[in-house]
């Protein structure tokens, strides 16, 4: 199947266009998706187990930080096209966008997907569509969801449409990417794929590619695994270059001039709820046959410890020192702290006897050791770590800084580096031996 074949049936499907959508999970994906469908003519009921999220949404307020989302939600709530509830209700389409967290043994916690699927069963009617958007281990739709949906008494292939359509948007640009990105739709049969494709066509400007459910699940996981493995290669290179006294960032820049080479960027580790998690969902299913994927994960997970060791190497001892950390989120210009490697670094630092930590982050309002006194954090300290390259930090003036600065992102301007002179240290760059 491909999207061109699917185009043929657009007209027929449009006539019976589904109108009411129930979206389960009002987080980073469910909330923007709800707002997007609402602003494209659908009636949306957003369902969340968290009453605070539900109450705030009904007032037109959102609980996550994402550019433009607040305004859009306010508008569609005031126009009564989006409302929230703690329980599902009858609808034409059910979209499951609940979390799939990782457990201590590195397997996926599928209880939210399972309970969301069970929750909708009593509300299903013939002709309804069920879509899983949550990133899930391969086989989730076929092996976990379908048996639960069958308890409704409906024949899944005759009476319902079921598909996986993974979200692939990047935090910070969610509303843009929801519209512009290509999308994969993997149905349990061709009719499901096409039905779901037409639904997303209401706002998606990218291509929509049709496949089966398990292929769609694996595609999503491999996209993030591809990125994670490539970053681990860059991180390994960084560690080697530090020992050789050369600069990994130069190696990457020049190597990437080759038309078929694209080495990613080294850094303090890989965070967020996607790259740091999704590869494990493949490892979980095939532990014996996923050596590269596992090793990449482990390599990236060791980066906060590597940064910690470099700090110790620079200062000699960290005991009774003051350390300033600029940026604690998992990546720049967002408020998301999930799996942040810098927080893992902070936890390692907290173990040191007598240490004082000063954390600066314009996107985070609550966390231990946070300070808003940036001037003090830059001058009354023994060491500065540039953890996250928030754009606000490009305005910082390092002229008065007389202590070592460790840049984990190759972020500081040429001018600041020159001002710092020998006090400037970079992850991935060693000093000449
Ligand atoms: N990072 C590096 N080096 C790089 C690129 C990223 O160290 O060269 C680090 C970042 O600093 C961050 C982490 O990786 O800590 C992840 O950031 P990211 O920007 O690569 O990705 P996410 O987690 O914000 O979003 C990813 C995206 N996936 C891909 O680009 C393949 C996004 O499109 C997905 O929708 C999202 O995962 C998701 O929800 O799965």
Ranking 2-16, 67-81, 201-215 by mean pLDDT, the lowest is 2-16
Any ligand 1 atom below 6 A from CB of 231? yes
pLDDT at 347 over 90: yes
Q: Which atom of ligand 1 is nearest to the CA of 334?
A: 24
Ranking 183-192, 193-202, 255-264, 329-338 by mean pLDDT, the lowest is 329-338
Any ligand 1 atom below 6 A from CB of 416? no
pLDDT, residue 13, reads 42
Residue 274 annotated in active site? yes
| Percentage of the chain modeled with pLDDT above 70 | 95
Confidence category of residue 261, pLDDT binned at 50, 70, 90:
very high
Report pLDDT digits (tens) over 121-142. Answer: 999 999 999 999 999 999 999 9
Residue closest via CA to ligand 1's atom 4 equals 265
Residue closest via CA to ligand 1's atom 27 equals 170
Any ligand 1 atom below 6 A from CB of 176? no
pLDDT, residue 413, reads 94
Q: Which of 146, 241, 274, 429 is catalytic?
A: 274
pLDDT, residue 63, reads 83
Q: Which of 22, 146, 220, 321 is catalytic?
A: 220
Say what the pTM is.
0.91
Confidence category of residue 15, pLDDT binned at 50, 70, 90:
very low
Ranking 5-9, 293-297, 331-335 by mean pLDDT, the lowest is 5-9
Residue 146 annotated in active site? no
C-alpha to C-alpha distances, 359 to 175, 210, 222, nearest whole angstrom: 30, 46, 34
Confidence category of residue 16, pLDDT binned at 50, 70, 90:
very low
Question: Ligand 1: which of 29, 171, 182, 227 to mutate, judged by most atoms within 8 Å of the beta carbon?
Answer: 227
Q: How close is the Cα of 14 to the center of ligand 1, in Å?
A: 35
Q: How close is the Cα of 183 to the center of ligand 1, in Å?
A: 17
**Mean pLDDT over the full length of the chain:** 94
pLDDT at 2 over 60: no
Confidence category of residue 431, pLDDT binned at 50, 70, 90:
confident
Q: Which atom of ligand 1 is nearest to the CA of 224?
A: 31
pLDDT, residue 12, reads 39
pLDDT at 192 over 80: yes
Any ligand 1 atom below 6 A from CB of 264? yes
Report pLDDT digits (tens) over 42-66. Answer: 999 999 999 999 999 999 999 888 8
């Amino acid at each position: 199947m491909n999207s061109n074949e699917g185009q043929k049936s657009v007209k027929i499907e449009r006539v019976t266009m589904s109108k009411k959508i129930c979206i389960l999970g009002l987080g980073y994906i469910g909330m923007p998706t709800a707002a997007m469908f609402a602003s494209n003519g659908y009636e949306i009921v957003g369902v969340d187990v968290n009453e605070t999220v539900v109450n705030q949404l009904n007032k037109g307020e959102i609980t996550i930080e994402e550019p433009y989302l607040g305004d859009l939600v306010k508008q569609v709530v005031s126009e009564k096209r989006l409302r929230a509830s703690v329980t599902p209700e009858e609808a034409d389409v059910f979209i499951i966008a609940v979390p799939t967290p990782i457990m201590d043994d590195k397997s996926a916690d599928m209880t939210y997907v399972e309970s969301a699927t069970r929750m909708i069963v009593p509300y299903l009617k013939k002709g309804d569509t069920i879509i899983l958007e949550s990133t899930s281990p391969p086989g989730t739709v076929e092996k976990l969801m379908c048996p639960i949906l069958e308890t409704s008494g409906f024949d899944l292939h005759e009476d319902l449409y079921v598909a996986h359509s993974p979200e692939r948007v990047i935090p910070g640009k969610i509303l843009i990417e929801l519209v512009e990105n290509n999308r994969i739709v993997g149905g349990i049969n061709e009719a499901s794929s096409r039905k779901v494709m037409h639904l997303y066509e209401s706002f998606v400007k990218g291509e929509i590619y049709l496949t089966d459910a398990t292929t769609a699940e694996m595609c999503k996981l491999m996209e993030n695994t591809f990125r994670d493995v490539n970053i681990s290669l860059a991180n390994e290179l960084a560690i080697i270059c530090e020992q050789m006294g050369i600069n990994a960032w130069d190696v990457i820049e020049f190597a990437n001039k080759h038309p078929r080479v694209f080495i990613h960027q080294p850094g303090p580790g890989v965070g967020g709820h996607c790259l740091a998690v999704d590869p494990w969902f493949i490892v979980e299913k095939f532990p014996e046959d996923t050596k590269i994927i596992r090793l990449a994960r482990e390599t990236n997970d060791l980066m906060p410890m590597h940064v910690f060791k470099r700090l110790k190497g620079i200062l000699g001892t960290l005991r009774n020192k003051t350390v300033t950390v600029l940026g604690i989120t998992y990546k720049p210009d967002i408020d998301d702290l999930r799996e942040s490697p810098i927080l893992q670094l902070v936890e390692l630092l907290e173990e040191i006897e007598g240490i004082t930590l000063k954390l600066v982050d314009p996107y985070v309002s609550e966390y231990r050791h946070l300070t808003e006194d940036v001037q003090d954090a830059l001058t009354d300290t023994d060491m500065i770590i540039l953890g996250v390259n928030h754009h606000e930090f490009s305005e910082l003036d390092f002229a008065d800084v007389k202590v070592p600065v460790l840049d984990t992102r190759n972020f500081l301007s040429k001018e600041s580096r020159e001002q710092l002179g020998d006090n400037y240290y970079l992850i991935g760059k060693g000093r000449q031996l």
